[in-house]
Amino acid sequence: MTLEILTSDILSPVRHGFFSRRGGASSGIFSGLNCGHGSSDQTEAVALNRRRVADAMEVAPDALIGVHQVHSPTALTVEGPQNGEKPKADAVVTATPGLALTILTADCQPVLFADTEAQVIGAAHAGWRGALDGVLEGTLNAMETLGAKRENIRAVIGPTISQRAYEVGPDFMDEFIAESPDNSRFFANGQDDRLQFDLPAFGLHRLRQAGIGQAEWTRHCTYSDPERFYSYRRSTHAKEADYGRLISVIKL
């Protein structure tokens, strides 16, 4: 099966892609394009999957630049290959041609950024904690230090968990209300005391509030489409031992 790569016109002509799980070498619960070395999948299968991604992006495997994601607001600036090192951060930016910035997700938001005029790109992992703590704004700040202009930056949120699949409790909502009472609009009533949280709408809100030029969500839900996407929450509900990781990539 060939790779499935989702793209957005607003990032054109910058080469990029939100890869689905289709077309990979992994099997079992990881069946497909699992690109997460942090999973319990076979190391050889993950390496082969990542080579396929590198080939699709027309770069060498060591040009796939990632970070050790920890749900932080930290954005890292890179200028060359990492030589195996992955610092703790949740976003990465560059102005160096030939580098492919990568983010791994399985429900959280993968967000790809580009200022085509300044030739600066970025990629962020924005789960609820990172988004609330400012990882999207941190990415914009880091891109500006490389010469990007906020009003020229465009961002796309890739496949992520949608509101109808994201059930949370009242304590979760309290953290958002503590930051701003207006954040209540990202929650809908569910069963009993449960609530449904709209993560991509919150991500778009933070980007637009920060003054970005243009932002959109691809409108793909990871939880609701098991044939195409991995989902941490879906795997947990199914009592599976582990889950695969989707990769999202952007390069100059």
Q: CATH number of the domain at 5-162+198-251, please?
A: 3.60.140.10
Phi/psi for 94 (5° steps) reads: -160, 160
Q: What is the pLDDT along the chain (252 residues), one digit of tens a residue?
A: 699 999 999 999 999 999 999 999 999 999 999 999 989 999 999 999 999 999 999 999 999 999 999 999 999 999 988 877 789 999 999 999 999 999 999 999 999 999 999 999 999 999 999 999 999 999 999 999 999 999 999 999 999 999 999 999 999 999 999 999 999 999 999 999 999 999 999 999 999 999 999 999 999 999 999 999 999 999 999 999 999 999 999 999
- 163: helix, strand or coil: helix
Q: Of 69, 111, 116, 118, nearest to 210 (Cα)?
A: 111
Nearest to 106, CA basis, from 236, 1, 250: 236
**Residue in the block written with tokens 């993560």:** 199
Question: For the chain, which residues make up each domain, given as ranges?
Answer: 5-162+198-251
The count of C-alpha atoms lying within 13 angstroms of the C-alpha of 115, restricted to the half-sphere facing its C-beta, is 25
The per-residue pLDDT for 85 is 77
Rg of the chain over all Cα atoms, to the nearest angstrom = 17
**Is the previous residue joined to 73 through a cis bond, with omega within 30 degrees of 0?**
no
Q: What is the pTM of this model?
A: 0.97
**If 0-12 CB within 10 Å is exposed, 13-18 middle and 19+ buried, where does residue 241 land?**
exposed
Q: Please say whether the beta carbons of 159 and 110 come within 8 A.
A: yes
Give the Cα separation of 111 and 150 in Å (integer).
15
Backbone angles phi, psi at 251, to 5 degrees: -145, 155
